[in-house]
Homo-oligomer: A and B are copies of this chain.
């Protein structure tokens, strides 16, 4: 099963596993698929399928060795190294990614902040000074920055993206609410921080509008695939 490409869904979950394993690892040296499943809110079988991609990394009867697992998964996701990141526009969204956040612990180091706004240029956030966007051309290669975060207003997103790409960035996360287009060879992800609110609203609002009691009585309507209906294991109230 090995030499195949991993499914997109699996890749997404690998990120979740890293997250969960980091904390599970503090408690025990080994986890079973059941335990990991509970921590992630997924079906145990799904976890075994995902991990089976490595071909027998688990031990029957006991489970998976946390450290080893973390290690291979991180390697697969290429997060067993440091990625340097540039943020364009220190907006609220942009600033939420700056050092001091958990982002750094996961191997992503924001090493530059750019802005097209004269007022912002020169401001400092911790050790970082805001530079004019036009300096990306020089700074990006010098600091070995490979990933760019677009946190501009939508109308400036494309320009910011182009500028970063020209400077050498080849992975982009766009937080602005527009679709930016990129040259081949550049990988782009569009992130909408507020989408989850929509999902919650839909779940809560089911049935007649503002009949709060109804919604309250209703069980979770969405279950992430694999999530047990409720009353979690680990379910202390």
Chain B residues in 8 Å Cβ range of A196: 173, 189, 191
Q: Name the interface residues of A1-26: CB closer than 8 Å to any CB of B.
A: 8, 11-12, 14-16, 18-20, 23
Cβ-based interface call for A142 (8 A): no
Interface-forming stretch among A58-66, A101-109, A116-124, A128-136? A101-109
Each complex incorporates copies of this chain amounting to 2
- Among B77, B95, B219, B222, which residue has its beta carbon within 8 angstroms of that of A205? B77
Cβ-based interface call for A156 (8 A): no
Chain B residues in 8 Å Cβ range of A210: 81
Cβ-based interface call for A90 (8 A): no
Cβ–Cβ contact B200 & A189, under 8 A? yes
Cβ-based interface call for A68 (8 A): no
Cβ–Cβ contact A205 & B78, under 8 A? yes
How many residues of A sit at the interface, in one of the four size bands? Answer: 35 or more
Cβ–Cβ contact B187 & A203, under 8 A? yes
Chain B residues in 8 Å Cβ range of A187: 200, 203-204, 215, 220-222
Chain B residues in 8 Å Cβ range of A40: 179
Cβ-based interface call for A92 (8 A): yes
Chain B residues in 8 Å Cβ range of A101: 92-93
Cβ-based interface call for A56 (8 A): no
Please report the C-alpha to C-alpha distance between residue A108 and residue B193 in the assembled complex, in whole angstroms: 13
Cβ–Cβ contact B200 & A171, under 8 A? yes
Q: Which residue of B lies closest to A204 (CB)?
A: B171
Please report the C-alpha to C-alpha distance between residue A101 and residue B153 in the assembled complex, in whole angstroms: 11
Smallest CB separation, A29 vs chain B (Å): 20
Q: List 18 A-B contacts (CB under 8 A).
A: A11-B202, A14-B202, A19-B192, A23-B177, A39-B179, A78-B205, A81-B210, A92-B98, A95-B96, A103-B197, A146-B212, A171-B201, A184-B230, A185-B216, A185-B217, A185-B219, A187-B215, A187-B220
Interface, chain A (partner B; CB < 8 A): 8, 11-12, 14-16, 18-20, 23, 38-41, 75-81, 83, 92-93, 95-96, 98, 100-103, 106-108, 146-147, 154, 162, 170-173, 177-179, 181-206, 209-210, 212, 215-222, 230-232, 234-237
